[in-house]
Structure 1
Amino acid sequence: GYQNFMASSTPKRILLRQGGNWKEFPDKIVKLAQVDFRTKKAITELAYEKRLYLLDFVHMTFIDSKSGLQRPIAWIDDAGRRYFPEVFVEDQVLYRRKDLGNGNHVYVKAEPNGTHEINDQFG
């Protein structure tokens, strides 16, 4: 989140999680975001087809301001460092990042293991 945003240099590539894959934003959107990012403005506003979209770099989220739909974003900065979210929700499923130890990672479904412990504590 915030530490990634503050530590990162300007994004060279910005990615959107869509349909189970990471897809690159077009260059014109990346260029708009770069201007805001350089001044450490955390949210870039994008107008497209009479709709307002937000790129929230602190929460690593793309937001459709009309529908409220949110999707995770990631980026690779101009130094080649990769910034991907630790967890995100896609199609009502929670995914957690699992590091493979070789600089790569995959996302796995987070199982709801601990629900009983929480219910026992409060019930």
Structure 2
Amino acid sequence: MTGTRRAAMFAMVLCALALSIAVPLRTYLSQRDELREVTQQQEKLRTDVAALEQRKQQLSDPAQVEIEARTRLHFVRPGETPYVVQLPGDADRKTEEERPSGKPAANRSWYEQLWESVTHK
């Protein structure tokens, strides 16, 4: 009988040790995984910041700003003749639908402007 009590006490002590170690171990492992994820996010953000710094450096050059304005915004210098090249697939596009409505925004009520902003992408 004393052997059974000793075994029961040993089992209780073993269970108590296992429970007291399990919670901190689980916390440690979850924090380690979270730290790994945060480190990866931080590296990605550093890469993004470096790319944005490089882009900022490029846009500090007036020649690069002019190139961007010409390509993305289709700006031209005074006296230049702009040309628009239509590709074969562009003939099917309905450019009239892509243009803003002829009704000026000042003449429309706020709810008409809101509705139009919701219905047009």
TM-score range, shorter chain: under 0.3
In terms of Rg, which structure is larger? 2
Going by fraction, where is strand more abundant, 1 or 2? Answer: 1
* Structure of greater relative contact order (alpha carbons < 8 Å, 6+ residues apart): 1
Going by fraction, where is helix more abundant, 1 or 2? Answer: 2
